[in-house]
Chain A
Amino acid sequence: MLGRAQASRPSLSLPAPLHRIPLRAGNVVEIAGPSPSAKTQLLIQTAVSCILPKERNGVHYGGLGHSVLFVDLDCRFDVSRLVEMLRHRIVQVNGCSCTADDEEILKLSMRRFSYIRCYDSCELLAALKTLHHRLEKEKESNGIGGHLLMIDSIGAFHWVDRASTSLPLGGKNRKYLSLQNVLEVVVEDLRKLMSAHPMLVIVTKATIVGTTGNDFRRNYKRWPSAGTFDASSELEGLREPYFREYMPPIWQSFVTHRILVRGSDDHIAMPKSQENNTAYVSEWLLPRLNFLDKFVVRNAGVFLVS
């Protein structure tokens, strides 16, 4: 039966560092990290892999052909970055010829990308409540397709909801807009969406609450200096969590996979360009993998280094 279940929900091949664990529809992946740590770049890279078609006009693009629903709570998404990464991928496959074809593939892929901004929790709740209907209508017109839901970032309204102290008037069973209630409803609505429409959910979370900057640096200093990459001593430094989990337990139990990303002190010298690129390090916390992935962000996208 497990084989049947796995066959009905095949694992998706996603770019690094999400490629380490097979992910399938129904999983909820949380990418946590301080700012800046390339979390949104990882989302955009994954979106590019999803919206590209598998193959078209005999050319193999290697994408998933899935639609991406991007819920932007930070309101900092830059579409030109998505277009740049997408163009790089297309040109890489096509070579430098056929620009008309390139534009056609670009438009076709961008049509699979849906975007919404939410400026507060009410807008987020409204969007999630009406998303089911919208996906149903799409199913009728376009047929069943896989979806990827991305939320950037889930902690955006944390302080606003925490400070909201509206008193419930008129009735004992009236709920008010608090941090706990909002997240309960978000988790419930996401669960229902995932059961009705198979989708993989990827969420970023900025570590906005936690130890002061000095503790941050102290843990960084445990890492060996640039050049050596001693896995065991690095892991020692990482084992102590240096940020506090601020999402309530209902969210933490909803998440099925967790990755931690952060900037590394090492700078990778690129042979072609004159400058050093900041390297980032990612670690799988759930399920726990005992090694780190190092990656850099270049114009063309996110690339694994080690």
Chain B
Amino acid sequence: MASLKRLETEFPILDPDFQSFCALRGIFTVQDFLIRDLQSLVADAEQQPSSERFMQAINQVLYVIDGLHQPWLNGVDLMEDAQKNKHVLSTGCEGMDFLLRGGLRRGQVTELAGPSSSGKTQMQPRVLQEVMNSILCHSVYDIFSMFDVLHCLESKLKYQMCRGDNDERLIIIDSISSLITPILGSSGSQGRALMVSAMSLLKKLAHEYNLAVLVTNHTVGGDGGIPKPALGESWKTLPHVRLLLSRDCGSNTYQVSLLKHPSIASGKAAKFIIND
């Protein structure tokens, strides 16, 4: 967050007088401005001798703050973006494509949960076939390395966007639960905070660079012995689409059911066969 001192070089109205006026009230950076009650600050500024300059300075800071959030989009812009950029990627599996009305949608994060040997990893080569031109693999062993990889990817995508070419189409994280489970304690909020931040970053990458994101999750025992996805109650609110995969004992028949989707009723299921 930019400090007022640093901003002075760009906006000379934020002169040392204004900076000391703010410092008396515990405001040193733009972030401090966000936490403050602006109205009382304005009332204070009006009582100062150089109130006009202070008001101009406050407006200048508000202008900087206006650049700190995402732009407001109109409904019509959203519709156009969805039509132009947010297409679907086929999963390579007809049953799943039918269930998802086409496949994995760009701009959305899809969770594929299932117990071990339920077909999660087998699903991925099929998804990858669609994007055969560029497959980059990164091994990560903890959530912090994943953050590193994603931040590098973000810089790379930003650069590519400026140049006009956009190669990447899909991110797969297999499995996100193995990165998050070790840090999820029962009480402390650090683990959940990291989980929420990681998903926030993935959703941002998905939306801004039009990628489809697929994350896999394992299952834990639920009510009545029916397996349910792991990672707890807070996780449920994070992905766009949630799928639960299961496999009929000893056969090649898999069943995938839709737990959550922004525009399709949940509870639907599809069966399919994967022949190796």
Query: Which residues in A have some Cβ–Cβ distance to B below 8 Å?
Result: 34-36, 40, 51, 74-84, 107, 109-120, 122-127, 129-130, 133-134, 153, 155-157, 159-160, 162-164, 168, 170-177, 181-182, 185, 188, 192, 206-210, 213-214, 217, 275-278, 297-298
B73 proximity list for chain A (CB < 8 A): 114-116
Q: Which residues of chain B from 229 to 271 have any CB-CB distance to chain A below 8 Å in the complex?
A: 233-234, 236-237, 240, 259-260, 262-263, 265-268
**Extra pairs beyond A74-B237, A217-B223, A278-B267 (4, CB < 8 Å):** A76-B108, A125-B34, A163-B193, A172-B26
B158 within 8 A of A: no
- Which residue of B1, B28, B262 is within 8 Å of A40 (Cβ)? B262
Say whether B35 contacts A208, CB under 8 Å.
Answer: no
> When A and B form their complex, which 8 residue pairs have the shortest distance between CB atoms, in order from nearest?
A110-B75, A113-B75, A163-B193, A174-B26, A78-B262, A173-B26, A81-B263, A35-B236
Q: Which residues of chain B from 47 to 77 have any CB-CB distance to chain A below 8 Å in the complex?
A: 62, 65-66, 68-76
CA distance A40 to B240 in the complex (A): 12
CA distance A208 to B234 in the complex (A): 5
CA distance A209 to B232 in the complex (A): 10
Q: A115-B75, A116-B71, A209-B233 are in contact. Are A125 and B259 (CB under 8 A)?
A: no
Say whether B260 contacts A122, CB under 8 Å.
Answer: no
B222 proximity list for chain A (CB < 8 A): 213
B10 proximity list for chain A (CB < 8 A): none
10 A-B residue contacts at CB 8 Å?
Answer: A34-B233, A109-B75, A112-B75, A122-B34, A130-B69, A133-B62, A159-B234, A163-B193, A174-B27, A175-B35
Residue in B69, B76, B81, B188 whose Cβ sees the most chain A Cβ within 10 Å: B69
Residue in A76, A207, A210 whose Cβ sees the most chain B Cβ within 10 Å: A76
Say whether A114 contacts B70, CB under 8 Å.
Answer: no
Say whether B72 contacts A36, CB under 8 Å.
Answer: no
A78 proximity list for chain B (CB < 8 A): 108, 240, 262-263
Interchain nearest-CB distance for B238 vs A (Å): 8
B207 within 8 A of A: yes
Say whether A171 contacts B23, CB under 8 Å.
Answer: yes
Say whether B69 contacts A206, CB under 8 Å.
Answer: no
Which of the segments B114-122, B138-146, B197-205 contacts the partner chain? Answer: B197-205
Say whether A123 contacts B70, CB under 8 Å.
Answer: yes
Residue in B37, B65, B193, B265 whose Cβ sees the most chain A Cβ within 10 Å: B265
Q: Which residue from chain B places its CB closest to the CB of A221 in the assembled complex? A: B223
Say whether A76 contacts B34, CB under 8 Å.
Answer: no
A156 proximity list for chain B (CB < 8 A): 196, 237
| B interface residues, tally (CB under 8 Å) | 60
CA distance A163 to B82 in the complex (A): 35
Say whether A125 contacts B265, CB under 8 Å.
Answer: no
Say whether B34 contacts A171, CB under 8 Å.
Answer: no
Say whether B74 contacts A119, CB under 8 Å.
Answer: no
Q: A111-B75, A171-B26 are in contact. Are A185 and B203 (CB under 8 A)?
A: no
A171 proximity list for chain B (CB < 8 A): 23, 26, 28
Q: A76-B203, A175-B26 are in contact. Are A208 and B237 (CB under 8 A)?
A: yes
- Which residue of B32, B37, B69, B223 is within 8 Å of A174 (Cβ)? B32
B106 within 8 A of A: no
CA distance A302 to B174 in the complex (A): 36
Interchain nearest-CB distance for A294 vs B (Å): 16
Say whether A122 contacts B78, CB under 8 Å.
Answer: no
CA distance A169 to B197 in the complex (A): 24
B20 within 8 A of A: no
Q: Which residue from chain B places its CB closest to the CB of A278 in the assembled complex? A: B267
Say whether B233 contacts A210, CB under 8 Å.
Answer: yes
Say whether B66 contacts A207, CB under 8 Å.
Answer: no
Say whether A130 contacts B66, CB under 8 Å.
Answer: yes
B28 proximity list for chain A (CB < 8 A): 170-171, 174
B218 within 8 A of A: no
